[in-house]
Structure 1
Amino acid sequence: MAGMDHAPPPFFKRGPAPLALLTFYIAVSVAIFVVDLRFKSLELLRQSIALVVDPVQRVAQTPGSLVDYAATYLQGMRAMQQENLELKNAQLATAPNLQRLAQLEVENERLRKLLSVKEREKANGQVTQILYTARDPFSRKVIVDKGQQAGIIAGQPAIDEAGVVGQVTRVFPFSAEITLITDKDQVVPVQVVRTGQRSVVFGLGNGQLELRYMPANADIQPGDVLVTSGLDGIYLPGFPVAKVVNIERDSAYSFARIFCVPVAGVENFGEVMVLTPRQALPDRPPESASRATANDGQRVKKKRMAKN
C-alpha cells in the first residue's frame, strides 16, 4: 500500500492566476491600440467587422423603426394636410416670380460669360438616411446608410435643408461615418455675412461652436450669421453654418470668446445630403507656364545688364 499514498489529482485544473491574465490582456490591448493609432494597421479588420455587423444592426433596429414610422405617420397626417394647403397658397403667391426665374438665370449666365466671370461651382450630391449615432459618448458622430458601394469617400461635406451638418470622416462598405461640426475635432472656415470678416469655428463637443481668432474689438454682434467661406477647398462658399448667440469681451485678452449655435439640425435624426467633392483648381497651361518662364529669364538678363 505504499504506492497509494500519493495525492489525488485536482478536480478542477487551474490555469494562470487571474491577475496574470488581467495583466496580459491589458498589455495586449494597449499594444493593439498603439499600433492601430500609429500605423492604422487595423483599418481593414475594422471594415471587415463592420461589413459583418451591419446587417445585424439593421435587423435589430427594424422594430423600433417600424414603431417610430407608425407613430410619425399617424401624428403627421393632419399636419401634412395643413402644410399642403399652405404650400399651395405660397405657390400661388410666388408664381409670378417663379415664371421669371428661368429667364433671369439665362440672362445672368450670358452676362457672366460677357464679363468673363468664373461660374460658381454647383452643389451636387446624394441623399442619405441617418441610422444611429456613434457609440463614443465623447464625440459627435452619426452613421448613414450609404458607403463605398454608393461612391462615398472620406472628406465629403454633408448638409441638410438648413445648413452644414458635418463631414464624412470614415467610410465602410455599406455605411459611412459623418463627424458633426459640433465635434471637438471639427473646424470649418467661415465668413460673417454682415461684415464679410473671415475666421474659423471650432466645435465644443456640447452642441455649440466657438468663433475663434476674432479681435476683442471686432465688429460682430449676437444674431450674426456665419456661412462657409470656401477657403479650405472642402465646403462650397455660402452655406449657412452657425449663428452668434453670446460674446465675451475681455480687455486682458487679444481675442474675444464668441459662442455660436449651428443653423442645421446637427443633433436631430433625419436625412442629410452628402455633397460631391469640389473640383480641383486647373493647373497652369503649358504655354502660359513657358511664357512665364521666358519672362522671368528676360527679367534676370535685364537685371544683370543693369548691374554691369
Structure 2
Amino acid sequence: MSGLEQQPPPLFKQGPAPLALLILYVCTSISLLVLDDRFRYLEPVRLFLTQATAPLKQIVQWPVIALTQVDEYAVTLDQVRHDNAALRQARLVDAEQAQRLEILEAENQYLRKLLETKRMLGARVQPATILYSARDPFNRRVILDRGADQGVIEGQPVVDDQGVVGQVTRVAPDYAEVTLLTDRNQSIPAQVVRNGLRTVVFGTGDGRLEMRYMSSNADVQVGDWVVTSGIDGVYPRGLRVGKVESLESDPNGIFSKFILTPAAGMGRYGEVLLLEPITLPTDRPASLDRPADQATGATMSKKKRKAQ
C-alpha cells in the first residue's frame, strides 16, 4: 500500500512555462488593444476606473497644488510690494516737481511785481540778490551781492515789490550790508495815507515796527497804511512802510504807541531793488542867512519903492 501511495515525480507538478505565459499575456494585450481601438469595448471600463481613481489623484496632487499656490502668492506679494515702492517713489518725485513748480511760479510772480515796482518808481534802480543774513542775533541785517564795484553807496534805500526793506549801511567792493527797517536802531519819517498825518516809524528788533510818542487822540486806526514821507532825503515819497496792527496806550493817557506789520516781505524771497537816493535842495535862500533886522529893512524898502 505504501508503494501505491507514493507521490508523482516533481516533473508532473510544474505549471505552464514562463515563456508561454509571457506569449499569452502579450497576445491578450494586443488583442485587447486592437478590439478597443476598433470597437471601443473597454471605454466603459476606462471611464469607471477614471472616476474611481479621481479622488485619489486629487489627494495626491493637493500638496503640489498647494505649493504652487503658495509660490504664486509669494511672487505676487513681492511684485505688489515692488509696485507700491515704485508708486511711492513716483509720487514723491511728482510732489517734489509740483513743489518746484509752485516755487517757480511764486518767484515769477514776485519778479513780475518787482519789475512793475521798478517801472512805477521811474528812478534809476539796481536789482540785487540777498546772499545771506548777517550773523548777529541783535541786529537785522542782510548781505547783498552788489557792492562798490557796481556803484552801490552807503545810505541807498532798498525795497521789494511790497515796500521798504531797509537801507545800505556798509559797502565793500563786491557786497553790501543792508540794515532792515525792523532793526531796533532804524527809523524812517512816514505819514498815514488816510489823513496825511506825519510820524516817525521805528524798528523793534523783533520783526515789527512802531509809531512811538503819538498823541493819545491821534487820528490813527487799525488797518491804516503808513508810507514814506520823503522828507529825509533818502526814501522817495509814497513807499509802503507798514500797516497798523494794534494800539498800545500809555497808562498815563498822554501818549500812544502803534504797532505796525512791515509791508515788505522780510525774508520771503532773495531779490530786492536798490534805489538811487533822492537829493534835496541844499542852497538856502539869501534872506535866511541875513539878520532879521536887515531882512526886515530890505522888505520895507521894497514896499516903499512900490508905493512910490
TM bracket, shorter-chain basis = 0.5 to 0.7
In structure 2, what residue type is equivalent to 1:247? L
| Superposed counterparts of 1:112-131, under 5 Å | 122-131=122-131
Kindly indicate whether residue 125 of structure 2 is the aligned counterpart of residue 149 of structure 1.
no
CA distance in 1, matches of 2:168, 2:127: 13
78 and 221 in structure 1: CA distance in 2 versus 1, 3 angstrom threshold: closer
Contact 2:225 2:242 in 1 (8 A): yes
In structure 2, what residue type is equivalent to 1:255? F
78 and 231 in structure 1: CA distance in 2 versus 1, 3 angstrom threshold: closer
CA distance in 1, matches of 2:280, 2:197: 25
Q: CA deviation digits over 1:73-103, x for unaligned, max 9?
A: 863436767999xxxxxxxxxxxxxxxxxxx
216 and 273 in structure 1: CA distance in 2 versus 1, 3 angstrom threshold: same
Query: Identity rate of aligned residues, in percent?
Result: 48
Kindly indicate whether residue 101 of structure 2 is the aligned counterpart of residue 77 of structure 1.
yes
Q: Quote the residue 2:228 is aligned against.
A: 228
In structure 2, what residue type is equivalent to 1:187? S
Q: Runs of 5+ in structure 1 lacking a partner?
A: 1-70, 85-119, 304-308
CA distance in 2, matches of 1:185, 1:142: 15
In structure 2, what residue type is equivalent to 1:209? L
Contact 2:128 2:274 in 1 (8 A): yes
CA distance in 1, matches of 2:169, 2:102: 39
Q: Quote the residue 2:198 is aligned against.
A: 198
Kindly indicate whether residue 241 of structure 2 is the aligned counterpart of residue 241 of structure 1.
yes
Q: Quote the residue 2:212 is aligned against.
A: 212
121 and 76 in structure 1: CA distance in 2 versus 1, 3 angstrom threshold: closer
**Counterpart of 2:101 in 1: which secondary structure?**
helix
C-alpha RMSD of matched pairs (Å): 3.6
Of 246-255 and 143-152, deviating more is 246-255
Q: Quote the residue 2:179 is aligned against.
A: 179
**Counterpart of 1:213 in 2: which secondary structure?**
strand
Question: What is the TM-score when the length of structure 1 is the normalising length?
Answer: 0.56
CA distance in 2, matches of 1:298, 1:194: 43
The total of aligned residue pairs comes to 197
Q: Runs of 5+ in structure 2 lacking a partner?
A: 1-94, 109-119, 304-308
Q: Which of 1 and 2 has greater Rg?
A: 2
**Counterpart of 1:155 in 2: which secondary structure?**
coil
Q: Quote the residue 2:279 is aligned against.
A: 279
In structure 1, what residue type is equivalent to 2:204? L
Q: CA deviation digits over 1:191-236, x for unaligned, max 9?
A: 0011110001110000001111211111111111000001111111
In structure 2, what residue type is equivalent to 1:266? M
| Superposed counterparts of 1:1-308, under 5 Å | 75-77=99-101, 122-250=122-250, 252-281=252-281, 283=283, 297-299=297-299
297 and 275 in structure 1: CA distance in 2 versus 1, 3 angstrom threshold: same
In structure 2, what residue type is equivalent to 1:279? T
